[in-house]
Structure 1
Amino acid sequence: MRMPIPMYRAGFGWLLGGRLVMIEHLGRVSHEPKYVVVEIVERTPQRIVVASGLGRRSQWYRNLKANGVAFLSTGHARRVPAHVRFLDAAESAEVLDRYTREHPLAWKHLKGAMDAAAGGDADIPLVEFTRPRP
């Protein structure tokens, strides 16, 4: 999802609603800022959780694994620093179960696209973002 990036960078991400987030991360080799827009699978006031649609081979996922640097833009919030945590299998299953119940049609399309990209039953890693403690 590259098309929304210029909207978020210009401060118009709020036009896309609250189900998407732009993640700014650093390239693991270049150390240059990189951007990706993904769907939020769970949100609370304290955290945002997203799924890596291409699994662990996704570039943004690999970059976060390498350096853990992330800034989030969603709604009217722009470039908010975020702590990165990779959920384990049990935590991921719980979040995806809730997402499936709350958004069955979206899950059907998301899971189908991920399975097609993986060539079978996709491994879907989840990443949690929280505000760093002062």
Structure 2
Amino acid sequence: MSHRQSTPHRPQLPTGWRRFGARLPILLFRGGLGRVFGKRLLLLHHTGRVSGLDRCTVLEVVEHDAAHVSWIVASGFGPMADWYRNLHAKPKTVIQVGNRHRAVTAQFLTPDDGAEIMAGYAQRHPRTAQRLCTFMGLPGDGSEAGFRDAGRSIPFVRLDADTDPRLP
């Protein structure tokens, strides 16, 4: 497990109508409309480490490995994001992709893994990768080396589907 001490800049959490807009996908997933996001977004269920309450967060899928049935997501708000910290406390959880639920176990990736993932993501989605770097306040000059450096600062998590089909 790799804990990243800090990111150069933690983005501000959305408030007001932007918070509503950011949380709208959760309502769509809960309303049975998760399929509108295809395989690009997933709904992560996690347990509050203090409250013990069920929480939900919608995350962008950075990579999906169909052969090993895993999804890689990134914490755009750094290692202090509640969902990220909650997964550290309880890595077994459930995700929803489309309208399908899967039991998964979180694996926290190393900064070097993050560099490789970010470089690959930037090749597939150059504009989105550049926006992510700007949003997080990371230096991103648009080069492969710049995206690798940024990837070392972003916490990435691989969600591996459990072989036990029962949900936790």
TM-score (normalised: structure 2): 0.72
Give the aligned partner of residue 14 of structure 2: none
The structure with the largest alpha-carbon Rg is 2
> How far apart are residue 126 of structure 1 and its match?
0.1
Give the aligned partner of residue 38 of structure 2: 17
Are the equivalent residues in 2 in contact too, given 1:26–1:69 (CA < 8 A)?
Answer: no
Give the aligned partner of residue 159 of structure 2: 129
> How far apart are residue 69 of structure 1 and its match?
3.1
RMSD: 1.6
Between 1:2-11 and 1:28-37, the stretch displaced more is 2-11
Cα distance in structure 1, aligned partners of 2:112 and 2:161: 23
Cα distance in structure 2, aligned partners of 1:75 and 1:111: 27
Aligned amino acid, residue 39 of structure 2: G
> Could you list the runs of 4 or more consecutive aligned residues of structure 1 that deviate by over 4 angstroms after TM superposition?
none
Secondary structure of 1:130's aligned partner: strand
Cα distance in structure 1, aligned partners of 2:131 and 2:93: 27
Indicate yes or no: 2:78 matched with 1:55: yes
> How far apart are residue 99 of structure 1 and its match?
0.2
TM-score (normalised: structure 1): 0.89
Cα distance in structure 1, aligned partners of 2:34 and 2:99: 7
Secondary structure of 1:91's aligned partner: helix
Alignment gaps of 5+ in structure 2: 1-21, 139-149
Aligned residues: 129
Q: Could you tell me the percent identity over the aligned residues?
A: 33
Cα distance in structure 2, aligned partners of 1:22 and 1:107: 21
Secondary structure of 1:62's aligned partner: helix
Give the aligned partner of residue 27 of structure 2: 6
Give the aligned partner of residue 37 of structure 1: 58
Q: Is the strand fraction higher in 1 or 2? A: 1
Give 1:31-110 correspondences, 5 Å limit.
Answer: 31-45=52-66, 46-78=69-101, 80-110=102-132
